[in-house]
Amino acid sequence: MNINVMQRTMSIFTPDPIIDEVKNLISYSISNKDADDQKFEDLHCAILERYFDAKDVRINYISKTIDLSLPMSNSKYTGITFECLDLDNFLQACLKNDKDSLHFYQSLLTNYNVVSAA
């Protein structure tokens, strides 16, 4: 392999390992929520805040509902509540593959001491 091809190959950003590790962390946090209740709830809320550009996210794990405020304009938000029967799959479906989100997920992984292969 010549040096130019090797340099281009090394500079390609591979999001799959980051997304896979975040999915693993989500599944682990749902299965082991009692291990670090508040920290895992913060993780779940952060993912929802990122995906929906929401604020005031609250998850009721017992009634399986999510309350959050969604942006209606630059400064106005509206509150909604919805039922979420499968939080694991829902949070995984909220993962984005754009560069800013991937950097955000990488910081989450670092915060939760998960080493990504990316």
What does the alpha-carbon distance between residue 42 and residue 47 come to, in Å, rounded to a whole number?
9
- What pLDDT is attached to residue 38? 85
Model pLDDT, residue 77: 96
pLDDT digits (tens, 9 = 90+) for 57-99: 999 999 999 999 999 998 899 999 999 999 999 999 999 999 9
Residue 34: exposure state from Cβ atoms within 10 A (0-12, 13-18, ≥19): exposed
Domain-wise residue ranges, the chain: 15-111
